[in-house]
Amino acid sequence: MIPDPPAPTVVDDLVALSRTLGEPARNLAILAEGNTSVRLDGEGSSGRMLVKASGAWLARLVPEDLVELHLASLVGLLDREDAGDDQVTRAFTEATVARDAPSARPSVEALLHAVCLSETPARVVAHTHPVAVNGLLCSGSADLLGAGALFPDQIVVLGRHVLVVPYVDPGLPLARHVRGMLRDFRARHGTAPRVLFLRNHGIFALGASSDEALQITEMAVKVALVLQAAAATGGVVFLTDEQADRIDSRPDEHHRRRSLVAREKVSR
């Protein structure tokens, strides 16, 4: 009998997701665009995450391109009114857990990963700059992405509501802004969003697993393409609130949502 192959480690899993996201045909990220992260332990702002290092390419990612950081050191920076670029650099150094590749440094977008992992139940975060989505995010029609649901599968994968974030200076200002919007979203909808659309920038997919983060990214791209096609062929017609709420609450759709989430066992 052939034994089962060993379960992939968290590192293998994040490397595989990153390389998939970086595949040229997907048009999600070129060069060193985009980044991925995974929570290693803890909850809320406690615990550690692994995040892609600045300058590393998703398409060619290797384990040495991942940096391990304490979430609390990064998230704590957001509450310091006087914090500037120097403090961000120092906080990154303090937050970094010693690793084999000391030259690898997190990008400034690691702050947003820390916010997403500490403010939502997400375990894996995938940030990309998809051509199809950015076509809308860089247009006067960006708000269409948050204006309603187009088709049932969009609701199953992306949730009933998504978050569209205005353009804010990257780094601490953007991380603070997104944290505020995530808290408002939770207060309004009683749940966390699964995708963030950042105007003139790209998307953050918030998944329970790497499979889910990829599914959310793929669905966000599909929604953007359908929106553009609908706008070009007579105008966008969204589902009504009643129709969308019905999909969101149907037991069979809940079942479909659960069965989409990967059940692979991931060990460290």
Instruction: Determine the interface stretch with Zn ion among 55-63, 195-203, 209-217, 237-245 (rule: CB under 5 A).
Output: 195-203
| Minimum gap (Å) between residue 134 Cβ and Zn ion | 10
Instruction: Determine the interface stretch with Zn ion among 115-123, 159-167, 175-183, 200-208 (rule: CB under 5 A).
Output: 200-208
- Pick between residue 106 and residue 202 the one whose CB is nearest to Zn ion: 202
- Pick between residue 159 and residue 202 the one whose CB is nearest to Zn ion: 202
| Minimum gap (Å) between residue 83 Cβ and Zn ion | 21
- Sequence-ordered list of residues with C-beta below 8 angstroms from that of 11, at least 6 positions apart, any chain: 50, 63, 66
Measure the CA–CA gap between 87 and 20, rounded to whole angstroms.
Answer: 34
| Minimum gap (Å) between residue 158 Cβ and Zn ion | 19
- Pick between residue 202 and residue 207 the one whose CB is nearest to Zn ion: 202
156 CA to centre of own chain: 17
Please say whether the beta carbons of 15 and 266 come within 8 A.
Answer: no
Measure the CA–CA gap between 181 and 171, rounded to whole angstroms.
Answer: 16
- Pick between residue 163 and residue 244 the one whose CB is nearest to Zn ion: 163
- Pick between residue 150 and residue 165 the one whose CB is nearest to Zn ion: 165
* Angle at CA of residue 177, ends 50 and 19, nearest 5°: 30
Instruction: Determine the interface stretch with Zn ion among 67-75, 111-119, 197-205, 216-224 (rule: CB under 5 A).
Output: 197-205
| Minimum gap (Å) between residue 161 Cβ and Zn ion | 22
Q: Tokens representing 230?
A: 């609908």
| Minimum gap (Å) between residue 28 Cβ and Zn ion | 11
| Minimum gap (Å) between residue 141 Cβ and Zn ion | 21
- Pick between residue 193 and residue 202 the one whose CB is nearest to Zn ion: 202
Count of beta carbons in the 10 Å neighbourhood of residue 50:
24
- Ranges of H-type helices in the chain: 10-21, 71-77, 85-95, 110-119, 131-137, 152-158, 172-189, 210-232, 241-249, 251-260
Q: Which parts of this chain interact with Zn ion (CB under 5 A)? A: 202
